[in-house]
Structure 1
Amino acid sequence: MPLFIVAIGIILLLILITGFKLNTFVSLIIVSFVVSLALGMPMEKVVTSIEAGLGGTLGHIALIFGLGAMLGRLIADAGGAQRIAMTLINKFGEKRIQWAVVVASFIVGIALFFEVGLVLLIPIVFSIAKELRASILHLGIPMAAALLATHSFLPPHPGPTVIAGEYGADIGLVLLYGIIVAIPTVIIAGPLYTKMAKKIVPDAFKKTGNIASLGEQKTFKLNETPGFGISVLTAMFPVLLMSISTILDMIQKSVGFEDDTTIEIIRLIGNPSSAMLISLILAFYTMGIARNTPIKEVMNSCTSSIAAIGMMLLIIGGGGAFKQVLIDGGVGDYVAELFKGTSMSPIILAWVVAALLRISLGSATVAAISTAGLVIPMLSQYDANLALVTLATGAGSAICSHVNDAGFWMIKEYFGLSMKETFSTWTILSTITSIAGLGFILLLDASLTISIMLIISISLVAMYFSIFNQPFKQSKDKSDVLDV
């Protein structure tokens, strides 16, 4: 019965969002009220549960999310993201242009949220494709794969950040494992799948796309942008700080040395909130003061970044409210009881639940947060690696992006694809990202050392087939020439 009520709640959420076109946050709060009452929660506890879920979720993520948005906007507004992309493209050369796009998108994707990274990188991809007389989709699929993987697996993106907090996972460990999982996943879903997509929908690779809806994009001459090294350092700085702290903890557990003041300071610096704050302060200098940008202009970039994520924060909070209702209403305990004594891994369960919610709801972030309400009560029954359960939830929430996901329509419109072509490229790409990600997560769960070696081997083999089996060639077909 509890699962039936949850199913009705999800259907109601779909009707409110897609049928009545209600705001997602408002819809989540309405459904949270309805589901909590249907589950038989005492009326005096309904509002308390919703407030606790919303406040608890935002209390954990707001600082990281807000500082991360500011950092990404500063890098973009200073031209740092463009410098990273163009430098890598120039270094890799025409034959390896896909890999330049992959690496650039991965680095930019760590610092920028999916939609922002997409809007920022698409004009660059279009201009490069036009110059090389290449298909925009030849470069667009690897770009989208890298952005989706960083969005699904790597903090400070909202999904993995929130879920790590809900599960009690070490966010630094999530980041390290996430990078290990994301790299081979991007190779498979990006450059390798591009080859297959060309056979499935060859006409899609002749499309010229349309980015008129993006408006006039701010462009920079390379000599006006920050240096490549400082741009990469600024974008990757929070990753470096969190990684150092996590590696220190791993060494301490294996060696067994005691804490001292130095270690405590490193831990403080490596805390996600501290790391984001320190990185933002660094960006104030590298992306602003060092370039003689007035501090007022730097602060304007920060302000505009927060305005852009305001509704996203509320939606995340709404997802947290729905999650808490599922827990307080006993749904999580009910699911835990159903699976009691079974051998199903919590990693697989988290992936399945997140995948079903993603397909139903569209929003990867809402699907991931809602999954926590069903999975958390189960975790006490297993000696599970919480970082890997977090990543499995992220992988499940990436699956099968279709018509109820904003990303689906962004890809369709920007690349000028038909519905069939969008399903055959973006939807399959997102599904490959999800399934491949789960596969690598399960490998890590089986044996960390062996898995890392296998993942490296798989990545190298995939790179070989992608790079050397079919080198990039300039198109001689007039239909491939872009008009942007």
Structure 2
Amino acid sequence: MSPGTSLLIYAAAAIIALIVLIARYRLNPFITITLVALGLALVAGLPPGEIVGAYEAGVGRTLGHIALIVALGTMLGKMMAESGGAERIARTLIARFGTKNVHWAMMLIAFCIGLPIFFEVGFVLLIPIVLNVARRTGVPLLLVGLPMVAGLSVVHGLVPPHPAAMLAVHEYRADVGRTLFYALVVGLPTAALAGPVFARFVAPRVRLPAHNPMEDALLDEGHARVPDEALPGFGITIATLLLPVGLMLLGGWADEIAARGTMLNEALRFIGHSVVALLLATLMSFVTLGLMRGFNREQILKFSQECLAPTAAITLLVGAGGGLNGILVKSGVAAEITTLSQRFELSPLMMGWAVAAMMRIATGSATVAMSTAAGIVAPIALAAGYPHPELLVLATGAGALILSHVNDGGFWLVKEYFNMSVAQTFKTWTVLETIISLVALALTAALAAIL
């Protein structure tokens, strides 16, 4: 057996170990990924003195960028929740779309609100709205809820400034403005097919229990009882939420607006950087959704501090995925995967999707899958001179969303809040995620053929 084949076998065994330890034995994902990464390094023959350094380098490289995005996006999401901005967006779109089209409204709500925050945060933010809308309109819960999770999931994997997508943008050295534009072109039809269209098909075929304990617990809380006039205006809420998107689009079009090297060009690039754009939007939210809503500085400070605690686990998990990526690269596994993909003549686009899909199935985390796959594929794509790094971001994001199962926290969130059995969750959520992955890949490949 050649050394390269042995490395691939060790890597496959490591992936199986991740699945078993996380899904079967319910071990802490951060600890499990760390242990498996160090174990893989040992059996792959890395000198013991280099193993921890390689792991730490992978963690640091990943978190150096993503930690800022996570913190700022979480603060912006918190201000949306506390001010009632999320409830305002929900009420306005539902009023505009009407009861018959409420599933389309929920998809758009999730697509907008999910831009700066992780899937889990957006889900917890929106689930009271979903339950409330289903109760008020009499529409089946899955017909309202599945479009919501589809919108959140598409944004999570494809659309900057979402932290997961920004990881891949950073690795592939893609232009964030162009990535955002292509992501909207691919993401909106993908969310429509996987959300409202699929929900319309599957909702009548899945019978949920008549009583949902989470509905009883959540509908007595939140902004559902707040008078309409007490909520922030729709226009100012949307303007605050979409400010980072607009700034990043300006940054992406800086060369078309002003000559490279001019002061205007540099200024547009600066404000269009994802960190600066989110920082400015977060500061704006402190005013528009904070001070202008009657919150004082002490309350705003409390909101911005207390919302960061829940992101610690997510950030550590992302860092662990980066550490595993560092081991895969240092041990030579990434090079062997590259050789194997070249043997099968996979394009960088398909390679990004396939590696991300394997990591998604193994770890359950779309963010970990994107960061790991992008770290492996980016050097290959850059060396080959692939002309559309923005499309590589989309393909990698599509792969990172496939086949969510029991090792994915999102699987259990959807199961518990929608009061479904495990089998029903596979029929709805897992199929929905796989539809997103395959449709997004197909649309990205079509876009690559056109450009």
Which interval holds the TM-score relative to the shorter structure? Answer: over 0.9
Over 3 Å counting, the alpha-carbon distance change for 1:104 and 1:208 in structure 2 is farther
- Is contact 2:128-2:219 (8 Å) kept? no
Find the aligned partners of 2:355 and 2:248 in 1 and give their Cα distance: 29
**Partner in structure 1 of residue 444 of structure 2:** 441
Over 3 Å counting, the alpha-carbon distance change for 1:278 and 1:148 in structure 2 is same
- Is contact 2:176-2:249 (8 Å) kept? no
**Partner in structure 2 of residue 203 of structure 1:** 207
1:226 matched to 2:229:
no
Q: TM-score by structure 2 length?
A: 0.93
Find the aligned partners of 1:214 and 1:37 in 2 and give their Cα distance: 48
Structure 1 residue aligned with 2:101, among 90, 93, 96? Answer: 96
Over 3 Å counting, the alpha-carbon distance change for 1:69 and 1:6 in structure 2 is same
- Is contact 1:167-1:390 (8 Å) kept? yes
- CA drift of 1:202 comes to 4.4
Which stretch of the first structure deviates more once superposed, 31-40 or 365-374?
Answer: 365-374
**Partner in structure 1 of residue 318 of structure 2:** 316
- CA drift of 1:118 comes to 1.5
Letter matched to residue 169 of structure 1: A
- CA drift of 1:150 comes to 0.8
Structure 1 residue aligned with 2:57, among 36, 39, 52? Answer: 52
Q: In percent, how many aligned pairs have the same letter?
A: 38
Letter matched to residue 3 of structure 1: L
1:244 matched to 2:246:
no
Find the aligned partners of 1:258 and 1:275 in 2 and give their Cα distance: 20
Over 3 Å counting, the alpha-carbon distance change for 1:26 and 1:418 in structure 2 is closer
Over 3 Å counting, the alpha-carbon distance change for 1:96 and 1:17 in structure 2 is closer
Letter matched to residue 354 of structure 2: V
> What pairs up with 1:56-455 in 2 under 5 angstroms?
56-198=61-203, 201-204=205-208, 209-211=212-214, 212=216, 217-219=221-223, 220-249=226-255, 251=256, 257-340=259-342, 343-379=345-381, 380-448=383-451
- CA drift of 1:94 comes to 1.9
Aligned-CA RMSD value: 2.0
Deviations along 1:447-481, whole A, 9 cap, x unmatched? 14xxxxxxxxxxxxxxxxxxxxxxxxxxxxxxxxx
Letter matched to residue 80 of structure 1: G
Q: TM-score by structure 1 length?
A: 0.87
Deviations along 1:410-430, whole A, 9 cap, x unmatched? 212211222332221111111
Tell me the SS of whatever aligns to 2:42.
helix
Find the aligned partners of 1:172 and 1:41 in 2 and give their Cα distance: 40
Over 3 Å counting, the alpha-carbon distance change for 1:21 and 1:409 in structure 2 is closer
Tell me the SS of whatever aligns to 1:9.
helix
Find the aligned partners of 2:423 and 2:18 in 1 and give their Cα distance: 26
Deviations along 1:248-304, whole A, 9 cap, x unmatched? 33x26xxx9442011111110111111011111111100111122111111111111
Letter matched to residue 449 of structure 2: A
Find the aligned partners of 1:115 and 1:104 in 2 and give their Cα distance: 15
Tell me the SS of whatever aligns to 1:444.
helix
Tell me the SS of whatever aligns to 1:99.
helix
Deviations along 1:156-189, whole A, 9 cap, x unmatched? 3232121222222223332222121110001111
- Is contact 1:331-1:374 (8 Å) kept? no
Q: List alignment gaps of at least 5 residues for structure 2.
A: 1-5
Find the aligned partners of 2:375 and 2:69 in 1 and give their Cα distance: 22
- CA drift of 1:335 comes to 2.1
Find the aligned partners of 1:162 and 1:210 in 2 and give their Cα distance: 37
- Is contact 2:123-2:149 (8 Å) kept? yes
Over 3 Å counting, the alpha-carbon distance change for 1:244 and 1:396 in structure 2 is same
Q: List alignment gaps of at least 5 residues for structure 1.
A: 449-484
- CA drift of 1:307 comes to 0.7
Tell me the SS of whatever aligns to 2:161.
coil
Tell me the SS of whatever aligns to 1:433.
helix
Find the aligned partners of 2:234 and 2:278 in 1 and give their Cα distance: 20
Count, aligned residues: 442
Letter matched to residue 434 of structure 1: S
